[in-house]
Amino acid sequence: MTRILATGTFDILHPGHLYYLEQARKYGNELYVLVARDSTIEHKPKPIVPEKQRLEMVKALRVVDHALLGSEEDMFKPLKEVQPDIIVLGHDQVFDEKELEDKLQKRGFNTKVVRLGKPHQCTLCSSGRIIKRILERKRTEL
């Protein structure tokens, strides 16, 4: 049994999320997803959808075996519970694989970190692009 962990905000679900989770799941046979807390998202605009709802939607996806919210204090805390064999990063996630793997090792985790390549192109495969389309439509309606 190889346990995979994927992470993200999953603000407005789109096929880019599905692609990431489906590719991640291929590295093992049990997929855990760590959903970022509202309070810890600082490198991009705050999500539109609150964390509990984002978690509920991720849990509803067939490809996901288990989903849980991250920790507000220590990003490594939920990993103690999950004990993943492999963490799969999306192509645009901010962590550096090697650095993360080293940090994990220092904390006693025997976890590999891999990064996915770029997904296939898709017009609305980003929460940001969906938001942009909503704002553009509003502008043309005014």
Q: Which positions lie near its own copies, rule CB under 8 A? A: 12-15, 18, 48-50, 53, 56-57, 60-63, 122-124, 130-131, 133-135, 137-138
CB of 77 to its own copies, least distance (A): 26
91 CB-near residues (< 8 Å, 6+ apart): 115, 116, 117, 118, 119
CB of 82 to its own copies, least distance (A): 20
Rank residues 107 and 132 by Cβ distance to its own copies and give the closer one. 132
Tokens of 65: 């075996």
How far apart (Å, rounded) are the C-alpha atoms in residues 134 and 39?
A: 25
Contact 91, 59 (CB under 8 A): no
- Which residues fall in the annotated binding site for ATP? 9-10, 14-17, 92
Known binding positions: 9-10, 14-17, 92
